Structure 1
Amino acid sequence: MTKYKSTITCPSCGHSKEEVMPTNACQYFYSCEKCGQVLKPKPGDCCVYCSYGSVACPPVQQEKNE
């Protein structure tokens, strides 16, 4: 079952926030609301949720379930 919410954690300040992920695209940038750090995916990851979230993005989840 695909999950649409992920808790993203800023590697700079440790701030965490639950966010609703886009369902049909990967999110490449995310700005931490606490420290202002702009997050980008780590090498090999398609989006910030795959790098810093508690759950991978919906497109990656769906690929793994096929």
Structure 2
Amino acid sequence: MSEIQLESVLTCPHCGHAVKEVMPTDACQYFYECRNCKQLLRPKPGDCCVFCSYGSVKCPPVQQQKNCCEGPG
């Protein structure tokens, strides 16, 4: 089994700003405010968190092929 990556580069779909962030291992991150344009990012339909939607690396539970927490709504 490969090592779990805990860092992911989030890229804002609105302005293209990219920043490396450390992903939480014990919760899904549903919201993220872009540091550049201040838009609030939410997961795309079918994704559990912003890292799965806009990150260079999927969240730790998805990397481990485990059930991740359900997205909002």
2:22 to 13, 20, 23: 20
Cα displacement (A) at 1:25: 1.0
Flag the structure with more relative contact order, 1 or 2, with Cα contacts below 8 A and sequence separation at least 6: 1
Could you tell me which runs of 5 or more consecutive residues in structure 1 were left unpaired when the two chains were aligned.
none
Structure with the larger helix share: 1
What SS class does the counterpart of residue 60 from structure 1 fall into? helix
Q: Which residue of 1 aligns with 2:56?
A: 54
TM-score of the aligned structures, taking structure 1 as reference length: 0.94
Q: Which amino acid aligns with 2:18?
A: S
RMSD: 0.9
Q: Is there any run of 5+ residues in structure 2 with no aligned partner, and where?
A: 67-73
With the length of structure 2 as denominator, give the TM-score of the two structures. 0.85
Deviation at 1:63, TM superposition (A): 1.3
Between the aligned residues of both structures, percent identity stands at 67
Question: Where do 4+ consecutive residues of structure 1 move more than 4 Å?
Answer: none
Q: How many aligned residue pairs are there? A: 64
